[in-house]
């Protein structure tokens, strides 16, 4: 039976010129990531790519916006290549980490590794957005950079790096949860010690004040006694 409804399906096709240049064999050798397929699609909005949940995709593919592959000019070509590599590696980092995907310290760390391995002009494309959902955003940068710096030089594949990061991320979050409680406890202990020190200083001051009063009373009584004694002998 024939239907008149238009049907769109995902079919394998040739890589556009810019994609072939950017996502090259050389890149895979450097980054040591599996060849994750690309779905090219029009994406409306500020995003240039995305990584769907398993339930919404054909296979392992990640999606990149079709507008990234329009050749703009020869002058802009190197920037376009870097941008395509950046989007591809970003979405691969999502793909290699467990669902649900997010922009946390674990994602930041893996994205750093992929960009460090890709070459000199890529790491600066890792940015604040990559960890913006992290509860411990400020500390995420030190944690992610330290681990990324250690792992990117190893022979581990990107998938193995993702597994190591995943195994270390949860304990780090738990430690951070505890670290904040410990800091609050330490702060309370310091406040108590300061309060006790202030109270002790106040008590000392009171003793000194009372001793001073006693000294004046003593002097007064001595003076009275002296006057009385002198009067008696006169
Ligand atoms: Zn993302």
What's the whole-model pTM score? 0.78
CA of 210 to the centre of ligand 1 (A): 71
Instruction: Tabulate helix, strand, coil % of the chain (nearest 5).
Output: 65, 5, 30
Is 106 buried (19+), middle (13-18) or exposed (0-12) by CB count in 10 A?
Answer: buried
Q: How far is the CA of 47 from the centre of ligand 1 (A)?
A: 9
Structural domain boundaries in the chain = 17-182
Cβ–Cβ under 8 Å, residues 169 and 106: yes
Q: 3-state class of 40 per DSSP?
A: strand
The helix/strand/coil state of 50 is strand
Q: What is the whole-number distance in angstroms between the Cα of residue 101 and the centre of ligand 1?
A: 8
Q: Which of 65, 116, 58 is nearest to 87 (CA)?
A: 65
Reading the chain (234 residues) residue by residue, the pLDDT tens digits are 899 999 999 999 999 999 999 999 999 999 999 999 999 999 988 899 999 999 999 999 999 999 999 988 889 999 999 999 999 999 999 999 999 889 999 999 999 999 999 987 788 899 999 999 999 999 999 999 999 999 999 999 999 999 999 999 999 999 999 987 888 888 899 999 999 999 988 988 888 888 887 777 767 777 777 777 777 766
**Cα-to-centroid distance, 149 and ligand 1 (Å):** 21
If one counts every other C-beta atom within 10 angstroms of the C-beta of residue 82, the result is 17
Separation of CA 94 and ligand 1 centre (Å): 7
Sign, CA torsion 83/85/91/97: negative
Distance between CA 65 and CA 104 in Å, rounded? 23
Residue 102 C-alpha to ligand 1 middle, in angstroms? 7
Distance in Å, CA 87 to ligand 1 centroid: 9
By the 8 A CB rule, do 65 and 86 touch? no
pLDDT for 5 equals: 96
Kindly report the length of the chain: 234
Q: Which of 114, 164, 172 is nearest to 140 (CA)?
A: 172
Question: Measured in angstroms, how far is the CA atom of residue 115 from the centroid of ligand 1?
Answer: 14
- Where would I find the H helices in 2-76? 17-22, 25-31
Torsion of CA 72, 44, 54, 137, to 10 degrees: 90
Q: How far is the CA of 92 from the centre of ligand 1 (A)?
A: 9
Q: What is the 3-state secondary structure (H, E, C) of 180-199?
A: HHHHHHHHHHHHHHHHHHHH
Ligand 1 centroid to residue 50 C-alpha, Å: 7
Q: How far is the CA of 61 from the centre of ligand 1 (A)?
A: 14
Ligand 1 centroid–CA 51 distance in Å is 8
Give me ligand 1 centre to Cα 223, in Å: 90
CA 103 to ligand 1 center in whole angstroms: 6
Number of neighbours of residue 129 by Cβ within 10 angstroms: 10
d(CA 33, CA 207) in angstroms, rounded, equals 75
- Ligand 1 centre to CA of 16 (Å) is 23
């Amino acid at each position: 039976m024939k239907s008149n409804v238009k049907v769109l399906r995902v079919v394998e096709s040739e890589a556009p010129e810019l994609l072939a240049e950017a996502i090259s064999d050389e890149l895979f050798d450097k980054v040591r990531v599996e060849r994750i397929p690309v779905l090219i699609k029009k994406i409306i909005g500020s995003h240039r790519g995305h990584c769907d949940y398993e339930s919404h995709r054909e296979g392992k593919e990640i999606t990149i916006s079709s507008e990234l592959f329009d050749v703009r000019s020869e002058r802009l070509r190197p920037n376009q290549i870097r941008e395509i590599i950046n989007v591809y590696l970003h979405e691969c980092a999502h793909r290699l980490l467990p669902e649900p995907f997010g922009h946390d310290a674990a994602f930041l760390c893996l994205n750093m590794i992929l960009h460090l391995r890709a070459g000199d002009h890529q790491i600066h494309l890792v940015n604040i957005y990559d960890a913006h959902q992290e509860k411990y955003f400020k500390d995420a940068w030190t944690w992610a950079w330290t681990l990324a710096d250690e792992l990117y030089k190893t022979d581990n594949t990107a998938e193995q790096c993702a597994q190591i990061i995943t195994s270390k991320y949860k304990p780090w979050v738990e430690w951070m949860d505890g670290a904040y409680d410990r800091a609050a406890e330490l702060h309370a202990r310091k406040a108590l010690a300061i309060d006790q020190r202030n109270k002790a200083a106040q008590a000392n001051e009171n003793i000194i004040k009372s001793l001073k009063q006693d000294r004046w009373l003593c002097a007064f009584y001595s003076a009275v006694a002296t006057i009385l004694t002198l009067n008696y002998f006169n």
